[in-house]
Amino acid sequence: MASNRARYKEALRQGLAYNLEQRWPEAMRQFRVAIIEFPQEAMPYAGLGEACFGVKQIERALDCYKLAARYSSGELSYMKRVADLQERLGQITEAGRTYMAVGELQLRRRQLDEAISNWERAIRLEPNLLGPHQRLAMVFQRQGNVKGAVREYLAIARILQQQGDKEKALQMCRAALRLDPENPDVLTAVDLIHRGAEAFPDEEPEVERAPEPSPDPADSIAEAVRQMAQILEAEKQSWQMAAPAAPSNDPVEVARRLAQDQLAEEIFRDEDETDIVQDDSQLSKLERDALIGQAMDYQLRGMTADALRCYEKAANGGLDLPSLHFTLGLLYHEQQQSSQARHAWAKVTGNPHYQTALQQLLG
């Protein structure tokens, strides 16, 4: 095994050096040696992809970078290269989905500006992708960018109406009106949806694109990203409180961290049928996600009153999670609002994950 590792390192070193000198055929030979020694290492595939690109073998380069992205469990530089090569090859829909996935990974790592840039690029390539519109709506609302959030809610409504989902389209319009009650574009869209008319006519005809071959699901980069995301979830690098580590036997601190993890998971949970808003007093999942993210940011910065305000809005808007009620109780407790804290914790009674902490807090 030691000799295999030594051969791998030497082949990788030589391959990288040949790439720097643009000696592409020699680089390819070295990277192939490295891959034979350790076929699940990412760097040789990336190096081979660069060499293939150097000799204009774009499709082979794309295949190599896909493998590099997969074996690296989400290295963003490889993912971006995949998207760039897909775009060069005219695989516009796949490129849009890859930029969307890159943005998702960046959000998990709290690289918000970079995530926004990649979601906007995904939309420029494929305007009907719901995912990046949804993430942008959530982030813009969280940032207080009313104009941007309303624009994205309208885009989501347009896509949903085109898919024949009138109720969800109206739900997105109502979310936009909560931010900007007199917005004429939103009011017009609501009226047209109610009348069954086309509320969002295309202003420009779509440019015809050459048909793309259907991607093999087993080899699709979107599938690879889903696998990566599962690995990244285990790391819990994002959305966690930057507080000093407490002793592991402190049940309150353990429960607090668990609640933060569960709230973060709610933000990344895909919307399902249970999230359909039943009445106007409830918020859409996107609105609740924006409030959770904003509350967690406030909490991170020690702005307890502002965090409470956002969590309360999410709870009043229909979010009913033990993690939310436990967190609300902690923040009320910090503010010395004992009766409100007990009221929030009463909704967590019986949940085994929080019982020990509650016994300590209430004892």
Domain boundaries, the chain: 128-195, 247-362
pLDDT band per the 50, 70, 90 thresholds, residue 281: low
CB 330, CB 225: distance < 8 Å: no
pLDDT band per the 50, 70, 90 thresholds, residue 273: low
Q: What CATH superfamily classification does 128-195 receive?
A: Tetratricopeptide repeat domain (1.25.40.10)
Structure-token pair, residue 241:
């409180």
**What b/e readout covers 109-125, taking b as 16+ CB neighbours within 10 angstroms?**
bebeebbbebbebbbeb
CATH tag, 247-362 = 1.25.40
DSSP secondary-structure letter at 274?
G
What is the Cα–Cα distance from 282 to 171, expressed in whole angstroms? 10
* 224 against 176, higher pLDDT: 176
Asked if the model's pLDDT at residue 236 lies above 50, the reply is no
Planar angle of CA 169, 173, 177, nearest 5 degrees: 170
Model pTM above 0.85: no
CB 33, CB 14: distance < 8 Å: no
Q: How far is CA 226 from CA 28, 41, 190, 220, in A?
A: 30, 19, 35, 10
Crossing angle of helices 112-125 and 92-108, in 10° steps, is: 160
pLDDT at 304: 92
pLDDT band per the 50, 70, 90 thresholds, residue 276: low
Give, for 333, the enclosing helix (H) or strand (E). Answer: helix 322-334
* Domains 128-195 and 247-362 fall in the same CATH topology: yes
What is the Cα–Cα distance from 6 to 16, expressed in whole angstroms? 15
